Structure 1
Amino acid sequence: MHEVKLGLDTFGDVTVGDDGTRLSDAQTLRNVVDEAVRADEVGLAFFGVGEHHRHEFAVSSPELVLAAAAGRTEKIHLGTAVTVLSSDDPVRVYERFATLDGLSNGRAEVILGRGSFIESFPLFGYDLGDYEVLFEEKLDLFSQLLAEKPVTWEGTTRASLTDADVYPKTENGITAWVGVGGSPESVVRTARYGYGLMLAIIGGSAERFRPYVDLYHRSLDSFGRDPLPVGVHSPGHIADTDEQAWEELYPALEANRNAIGAERGWPPYSRLQFQHDIGPEGAVYAGAPETVARKIAATVKTLGADRFDLKYANGTLPHAKMLHSIELYGTKVAPIVHDILAAG
């Protein structure tokens, strides 16, 4: 097996302090930067920050948070999880990430997606009836911008461009992915435009996503493209023992799932569901370092993944516990994963 890269993702969940009271958005943002610093210190490969526009999450401008992290880190790659391209402007997205790439000495990455929430569409004046065409056209334009040459483009969702050049230029280009939740059409589109495939696996077993990985590789081949990386994004939490990790994570995850579930008609989250989710057939990677490492390694082998990003922030899980989780992920989980994969 090749050596998989291990990363982290956060949506900037607004959490609670030691006394159980809700932290301010401002303190949450500062904590996210501290978490990126810890991830860099323990040798992890990637730190991703999501974009949201709702009260549970403090990060609405991930590039600003990542720029702050760039000034305090040295090696870790910094990106989004995801940038909601449908409700943004591709030219501005490119310019922001090219700026981040320069500030971070070439460590910027962007994961583009449509997002799992829809608040940004009315907030920025977009019609949800244009959901598909917005992403298709904007992804097409962004793909051309990545070449860093003058672009001529015409569509229905923004003003046309004629021989337009954008700045700043990067030194070695920007690494770009598309986040996919499990739509075959999205997988084929990702291959057609030549992006890395980032699978958001937040429910069920990793094995059920293998057909999408196979479809991606077949599609790349049919479009005459070279092989491109496959990544996985899934939630989890690490503590010194299985029981400690589960007891720390469950209340935060329950609150988070129930808040979102109330909007989407989900049944209340339960201990029974949690036990399934942390098991072999579930999508939550929680437990002691060896437990989490074995599950990550199994997922990597099943999907042939090149990167695994652990969504370490879950609801109101306190900052100190997240820092410890990051520490264990880099110092204990990562070496075990690499040893398991090296042993075949």
Structure 2
Amino acid sequence: MSATTPFEIGIFTFGELTRNAAGKPMDAGARTRDILEWARVADEAGLDVFGVGEHHREDFAVSSPAVLLAAAAAQTKRIRLTSTVTVLSSADPVRVFEDFATLDLISGGRAEITAGRGAYLESFPLFGQPLDRYDEYFEDRLELLLRIRAENPVTWNGTTRPPLTDAGIWPRPAQTALPIWAAVGGTRSSAVRAGRLGLPLYLAILGHPEGFGPLAELYRRSAAQAGQMPGRIGVTSHFYVEETSQRAKDTFFPHYSSYIHQNMPRTGRLDRAGFEAWAAPRGALFAGSPAEIVDKILWEHEILGHTRFLAQVGLGGLSQAATLRSIELLATEVLPAVRAALKQ
């Protein structure tokens, strides 16, 4: 890891509209205001990255990351602003680039794109795209997005949208090259693609972290075989921290169990024993004291060599006060300890 690229820690959200015990979902307007407050607090506390994801469902508040990130840009000063993710398969790369270039200008060069295929499929029928061309759409549109970043005007011919001939794409971003990350849920082909293209990589770790070590190595090997310099690796994980381990787990368990039940129903209902196993030192869930969070980040760093950690916050209807305190502890207790351990 370069001395000019310290280990980065940030937060992200999909803007879940968790239902309460009566089945009533959170209010989308209130949720949006809460998310913007998370961005402000993260920026003021010293975190490095703030991200929002994209969904097109009634149980999520965010369908347009660029719009919400632009609002966050207007009330933050230094934190980087990224999509987590932009569902590129069902988006027009020209519009995606224009939106994030505009965000980059608003924020003074703090925008990033995380391109992914998306864990949900609702955007395909919504935008009139056939599901049987799922992979083709992503490959084709990622190629165009990268071409737009590299060239202006751009000439391109693909299979999923009309061709472009000497087309000017405006505005251009403040940064020389708008950062584009690739999101990988665990598939080998996605890691190979990111390595071959030399894109930095996000690993969404929901299973056993050790299982992602070979994927990180495959990514680096694929980059080397393609003559590319491997990009950075980021890790995203579910997260909650309090001053003590027991308080963190007692507070978070009912909310996280509700989150899993509502958002990952195929996993089954999460009981306390399962929660404790996931939050154990070698589990994927980051829930505990600052010291426990630091130890787990460093352990994963040994396995993966990642240089960015993004914590998914506010899960399961957790209160705003608890979420903000967790964000502050991540910035003031976890981040400096991780950098100190890595001698940065």
Query: Shared fold (TM-score greater than 0.5)?
Result: yes
**Cα shift at 1:21:** 7.1
Q: Which position in structure 1 is the counterpart of 2:177?
A: 173
Equivalent-residue separation in structure 1 for 2:78 and 2:298 (angstroms): 24
Aligned to 2:194: 190
Query: Comparing 253-262 with 129-138, which one deviates more in the overlay?
Result: 253-262
Separation in 1, partners of 2:45, 2:268? 38
1:207 corresponds in structure 2 to 210
Aligned residue for 1:291? 292
**Normalising by structure 2, what TM-score?**
0.94
Give how far 1:46 is off.
0.4
Shift of 1:142: 0.7
Matches within 5 A, 1:99-114: 99-114=102-117
How far apart in 1 are the matches of 2:75 and 2:151? 28
Alpha-carbon distance in 1 for matches of 2:156, 2:24: 50
**TM-score, normalised relative to structure 1:** 0.94
Corresponding residue SS for 1:111: strand
User: Structure 1 residue 41 and structure 2 residue 41: aligned?
Assistant: no
Question: How far is the alpha carbon of 1:230 from its aligned partner?
Answer: 0.7
Shift, 1:134, TM fit? 0.7
Gaps of at least 5 residues in structure 2 are: none
Instruction: Kindly state the Cα deviation for residue 313 of structure 1 after the two structures are TM-superposed.
Output: 2.5
Assess if the C-alpha contact under 8 Å between 1:9 and 1:313 holds in 2.
Answer: no
Aligned to 1:125: 128
Equivalent position of 1:90 in the other structure? 93
Q: Which residue of 2 aligns with 1:323?
A: 324
Q: Aligned letter for 1:179?
A: A
Percent of aligned positions that are identical = 43
Give the distance between the partners of 1:324 and 1:122, measured in 2 at CA.
Answer: 40
User: How big is each residue's C-alpha offset from its partner over 1:278-306, in whole Å with a ceiling of 9 and x where there is no partner?
Assistant: 01231111111111111111112221111
Task: Specify the code of the residue in structure 2 equivalent to 1:109.
Answer: E
CA distance in 2, matches of 1:269, 1:23: 21
Q: Does 1:27 align with 2:30?
A: yes
Change (3 A) 1:22 1:131: closer
- For residues 261 and 43 of structure 1, the distance between their equivalents in structure 2, rounded to whole angstroms, comes to 32
* Matched AA of 2:319: P
The question of whether the paired residues in 1 share the 8 Å contact of 2:200 and 2:230 is answered with no
Aligned counterparts of 1:79 and 1:179: Cα–Cα separation in 2: 12
Give a deviation string over 1:141-194, Cα, whole Å, max 9, x none: 111011142222122211111121200012322111000011111111112222
Deviations 1:303-332 (A, max 9, x none): 111111111131211221111100000011
Secondary structure in structure 2 of the residue aligned to 1:52:
coil
Is the 1:148–1:166 Cα contact (8 Å) retained in structure 2? Answer: no
Moved more, 81-90 or 215-224: 215-224
Structure 2 residue aligned with 1:332: 333
Kindly report which structure 2 residues correspond to 1:258-337, keeping only aligned pairs within 5 A, or say none.
258-262=261-265, 265-337=266-338
For the residues of structure 2 that align with 1:321 and 1:104, how far apart are their CA atoms?
28
The CA distance in 1 between the partners of 2:288 and 2:167, in whole Å, is 51
Aligned length: 339
Question: Which residue number corresponds to residue 231 of structure 1?
Answer: 234
Q: Once the two structures are superposed, what CA deviation does each residue of 1:92-128 show, in whole Å capped at 9, x if it has no partner?
A: 0000000000000000011110111111111111111
SS at match of 1:51: coil
Question: Partners of 1:195 and 1:259 in 2: how far apart?
Answer: 33
Inter-partner Cα distance in structure 2 for 1:270 and 1:313: 19
Task: Tell me the equivalent position of 1:54.
Answer: 57
Report how far residue 260 of structure 1 moved.
Answer: 3.0
Shift of 1:226: 2.0
State the alpha-carbon separation in 2 of the partners of residues 162 and 79 from structure 1: 29
Map residues 238-249 of structure 1 onto 2, 5 A cutoff: 238-249=241-252
Runs of 4+ residues deviating >6 angstroms: none
Kept in 2: contact 1:87–1:120 (CA 8 A): yes
Q: Which amino acid aligns with 2:76?
A: T
How far 1:214 sits from its partner (Å)? 1.1
Q: Deviation per CA, 1:59-81, whole angstroms, max 9, x where unpaired?
A: 11111110011011111000111
Is the 8 Å Cα contact of residues 282 and 296 (structure 2) preserved in structure 1? Answer: no
Q: Which is worse superposed, 130-139 or 268-277?
A: 268-277
Unaligned runs of 5+ in 1: none
Look up the equivalent residue of 2:105 and give its one-letter code: G
Q: CA deviation at 1:37?
A: 0.5
CA distance in 2, matches of 1:315, 1:63: 24
Whether the 8 Å CA contact 2:197–2:228 is kept in 1: the answer is no
Distance in 2 separating the partners of 1:121 and 1:316: 28
| Contact 2:239 2:287 (8 Å CA) reproduced | yes
**Distance (Å, rounded) in 2 between the aligned partners of 1:118 and 1:246:** 33
